Chain A
Amino acid sequence: MESVPLTWEEVARVYGRKIYNFAYRLTGNSADAHDLVQEVLLRVRKGLANYQPGSFEGWLWRITRNAFLDEVRKQKRRPTAPIPDEIDRWDAATTESADLEFDRISLGDDIQKALLELPIEFREAVVLCDVVGLSYEEIASAVAVPVGTVRSRIHRGRKQLRELLE
């Protein structure tokens, strides 16, 4: 049986980095990712008291993506969204000479920028699959849609990424 972390600190220790990477790839900037991780851990701390044994990861990722969607709704009401970190770095990097490190960073930046252009449903499916490493079934549970929908979103998300990166 899946062992369940008992405190928010254990959840943070075991899953914190994954949650942060999920948050960063979805929001594209460290400030929003930071806030999102805090919000998720706050919800985890509150929710652990009433946690019913089951799929802990399913529960955790449901909380995480719901926190993200709530944040997106808030951002829509607040028009001054922060500029993604990559854009800053991209501008700075274009003045530097090209070397291997630059190629590595700029390639990542291109992908990050393309991710941010995907519709949210596709972005979260691709990030949960390729960044977090969840199975289609786990994604379906976190996002509360059928597995067939997950399959379609991941595929369409990747196809759009391919077009954006061409």
Chain B
Amino acid sequence: MTHPSESISAYLDGELTAGERGELGQHISTCGRCAADLEDLQRVRAAVRALPVLEMPDDVYGQLREDDRVVPLHRNRGVWVGAAAAVVALVIAVAALVTPPASSVTIDQLSSRFGARVSLDPAFGPAKVIVPDFAELHE
């Protein structure tokens, strides 16, 4: 019989069938190498199992409990998102109605009118911005 090495751990864990267990037990009783393996693995297994059980720190729950306090808002998230979207849509619609049509002015005009300093990449040609119609700029 070849050495059923992998079965030794399963044997220690009680994970073999009665038949497999009997076979392995018989082999170990006549095989010094497998008997030594069994002893070594038993020691390792016992050492890992003897690691102290650690207590969980209480503050693990802190953030979760904090989250629970805002759950009602999360539960109604769909309603709030819908309401916010409706308000934004309304503002845009009103703005579109009351804002006069846009016209084109140059950076130089803006700069001379408002004293603004604008620096843009000349590689993209003359800089232009679109702003609401300022009639006085064309006077």
Residues of A within 8 A of B (CB): 8-9, 12, 16-17, 19-21, 24-25, 30, 34, 37-38, 41-42, 45, 107-108, 111-112, 115, 126-127, 129-131, 135-136, 151-152, 154-155, 158-159, 161-162, 165
Contact = CB atoms under 8 A, between A and B. Distances in A.
Given A38-B63, A135-B15, A136-B15, A130 B48 contact: yes
Task: Count chain A CB atoms within 10 A of each CB in B8, B49, B64 and give the residue with the most.
Answer: B64
A107 B47 contact: yes
B9 A16 contact: no
A162 B44 contact: yes
B45 interface: yes
Contact of B53 (A8, A21, A111, A151): A21
A41 B54 CA distance: 18
Contact of B60 (A37, A45, A131, A161): A37
A145 B63 CA distance: 34
Contacts of A165: 44, 47
Given A25-B51, A37-B60, A111-B51, A158 B41 contact: yes
A72 B123 CA distance: 47
A20 B64 contact: no
25 contacts: A12-B60, A12-B64, A20-B55, A21-B53, A21-B54, A34-B59, A45-B64, A111-B47, A112-B51, A126-B48, A136-B10, A151-B7, A151-B9, A151-B10, A154-B9, A154-B10, A154-B13, A158-B9, A158-B44, A158-B45, A161-B44, A162-B40, A162-B43, A162-B44, A165-B44
Contacts of B15: 135-136, 151
B114 interface: no
Nearest to B12: A158
A17 B53 contact: yes
Nearest to A136: B15
A8 B64 contact: yes
B82 interface: no
B52 interface: yes
